[in-house]
Chains A and B, each alone.
Chain A
């Protein structure tokens, strides 16, 4: 298309919103409460909507895990208060099997999609993209607003499903058919599953609208001088995250549409030769294939885990460089590995399916491709460590979370290599080893990346600081707690303890873990309560936190710190600054840091 415009004598396309927005600098439109806080088109407000919705979901999702950990840690005890709250779901003060499955399913769904995808990308892509590339707003503020509201609608649908009489979806966050396709097979596969599919379809729309916007904003709206190789790594990470989302979520949508037909239109895409014990009926379905769903699901599912971790990686790279007062080590290698991860993410999905009867030869191809991902991952880890090396480290809470991220990513990544070998995976699949792997490498790591971002950019978001003392407590308890919770699960998994069981006390081989489970549950509750302290810190600091008094409190180089302390709609009151250098000029020529907006001096050394 590029030469077409030239051929046809079209003028160069104007990429900025200047004409419109420059009026903003001087005086404000009359904004009502509705346009400012509810249907806002300002990316900074949309970011806040995402983060607060995400926090609500995180609390709910975390609470679910506390409930099922209660069951796992204390399978013999009764908690009458649960019956008071949940009625028949916790009859006699014991969590019922259906309730347990609903809890683990919704815990996974909520945290993977609504917190770590919607919440994490939604927050930081919205906040950082326009501010760090030097744009007034997103390419399409309107679609950006719609993206949030689709996310909101999806949230409402999923939230409603929690209150259904037959309960929410409960076939696991991966909703494998035939279980999820047959209402007769399981309570949660009745209305709950329809809500789940509807909610996820809305979620896909939201992520698509968001992703298209992020991509075109990054490509089209960079300020003068901001070439792609001068972009901070946050932006590169968010860019490839959006690409992953735009190309993988549609496949999930297709899979879910077929599932919906299987549920309601009598089709048999995923169904064949089924007998349901509860109704004592054989189904006429013939010719379908349940494994097909797994392929469609994991074609999204694996990229999805990188959709979660890439933004966290970007945030960590940036925060780490700022707080080591050193340029990030190997900038181009970092960009290259993000790109490699993005490509490989599409080629490894069947490592979740080694025991489905997959042809072993095909399995070995996927083993190879899976293990290849370790290469770019390791490059990134080495670069983070070398960024820290001999740095002048400032241990702010944000920095601690960034360092914690690296620690967790290494620990969880190593177990990925175990699982990536199909021969080992035959033993480890569907055990607590997998639970430990992905909670450390994805769950907790991504949360650490997100926390590091929140502590670092909170001053830019709200013009106040988060409380540091609470920040330090938050960090240490969460880090130690996370390892105490998930490390022992490796041993349970190696001993063959399967995931998704309600009660292990009936098995002699897993009895030995009774006390360990109790211990894990206790730590989980402590860690959860510390997260509540973070939430308190967040809202308290919005109103009462220490005020930011300088434009660039962390001494960073990127553009967001050239805006006023509380930027209005349009971000820069005057002209958008021009960029003259990359984002990582720290400790150069004896200067602590040099803003991207400063022209390169004639006597400056090269980097």
Chain B
């Protein structure tokens, strides 16, 4: 297991991993590619339907509430906070992986806890946002169309329900990924805390969880762009 790689060795000639990674990481990379196609299909569907519609609700109008404060004049403030939280949790994940490289159990535990907190915070924000939109009359198959509705099309015409349909389906699917990620991270935390990785001699599992977590973050950047900015 532990000889150094001789110089000039052929990586592809068999008997070793061509990328010098164990199979689990390879599987994770391919899984993420697969998952990227799932999200890609959703977002392209969204794009095609939206492109084919005459008009569409204006995100600056829809997303302008903030918990407690209520209606704000700065649109997108809340989602910026959510995005910031998620990106910060990616940073703490990087720190956890680095700590894993150094076989620093304490560090791994500390940063995993922060990552989990970040994930939970993001999910809570999403729960609040969903509730808020729901209370304003948006849900799968529903959208408020009265004169004061936030969901009127940018050109003030009556919207179809497809804004809600895509919003809840895609952010829901992403939220489900974040949720799974939090579960995975909690399992990793428990394993690290019990010293399983020290026994194994490496923290590769943390790296794999990290790959997944960064991917979920990356997807959010696209989801965020598609629903809030465009």
Binding site for B on A (CB under 8 A): 1-2, 5-6, 8, 10-16, 133-134, 139-140, 143, 208, 211-213, 215-217, 219-228, 230, 246-251, 253-255, 257-258, 261, 265-269, 286-289, 292, 295-296, 299, 578-579
Contacts and interface: CB of A to CB of B under 8 A. Distances in A.
B195 interface: no
Contacts of A213: 27
A257 B173 contact: yes
Contacts of B21: 1-2, 5, 13, 220
19 contacts: A11-B1, A208-B34, A215-B27, A219-B19, A220-B21, A222-B15, A226-B15, A247-B37, A249-B34, A250-B34, A250-B35, A250-B38, A251-B37, A253-B38, A254-B42, A268-B161, A269-B165, A286-B160, A299-B41
Sort A-B residue pairs by CB-CB distance and give the 6 closest, nearest first: A266-B141, A287-B160, A224-B15, A226-B14, A254-B41, A139-B23
Given A224-B15, A228-B12, A288 B26 contact: no
Contact of A269 (B31, B39, B49, B173): B49
Contacts of A2: 11, 19-21
Contacts of A217: 23
A33 B4 CA distance: 43
B9 to A, nearest CB: 9
Contacts of B1: 11-12, 14
B45 A296 contact: yes
Given A12-B3, A248-B37, A249-B34, 5 more contacts: A6-B20, A225-B15, A250-B35, A261-B140, A292-B48
Nearest to B29: A1
A249 B30 CA distance: 13
Contacts, number: 172
B169 A267 contact: yes
B124 interface: no
B141 A268 contact: yes
B15 A261 contact: no
Contacts of A223: 14-15
B162 A269 contact: yes
Given A2-B21, A257-B169, A15 B16 contact: yes
A286 B49 CA distance: 11
Nearest to A249: B34
A140 B101 contact: no
A247 B23 CA distance: 19
Contact of A250 (B11, B15, B37): B37
B33 interface: yes
Contact of A254 (B22, B24, B38, B48): B38
Given A1-B25, A216-B27, A223-B15, A267 B5 contact: no
Contact of B30 (A212, A269, A287, A299): A212
A556 to B, nearest CB: 19
B140 A267 contact: yes
Given A212-B27, A222-B15, A268-B162, A5 B34 contact: no
Nearest to B15: A224
A359 to B, nearest CB: 13
A23 B158 CA distance: 71
B161 A250 contact: no
B44 to A, nearest CB: 8
A1 B39 CA distance: 24
Interface residues of B, number: 52
Contacts of B52: 289
B10 A287 contact: no
Nearest to A287: B160
Given A12-B16, A225-B13, A258 B30 contact: no
B14 A227 contact: yes
B41 A215 contact: no
Contact of A221 (B23, B24, B49, B142): B23
B15 A215 contact: no
Contact of B20 (A13, A133, A299): A13
Given A266-B140, A292-B45, A13 B169 contact: no
Nearest to B19: A2
B33 A246 contact: yes
B169 A15 contact: no
A590 B34 CA distance: 48
A59 B165 CA distance: 41
A12 B53 contact: no
B49 A289 contact: yes
B2 interface: yes
Interface string B75-97: 00000000000000000000000
A24 B166 CA distance: 53
A160 B71 CA distance: 51
A454 B70 CA distance: 68
B154 to A, nearest CB: 15
B14 A139 contact: no
Contacts of A224: 13-15
B27 A266 contact: no
Given A227-B13, A250-B34, A292-B49, A216 B169 contact: no
A346 to B, nearest CB: 10
Contacts of B53: 287
B66 to A, nearest CB: 28
Contacts of A15: 15-17, 22-23
B41 to A, nearest CB: 4
Nearest to B45: A292
B41 A296 contact: yes
B14 A222 contact: yes
Contacts of B30: 211-212, 215-216, 246
A208 B34 CA distance: 8
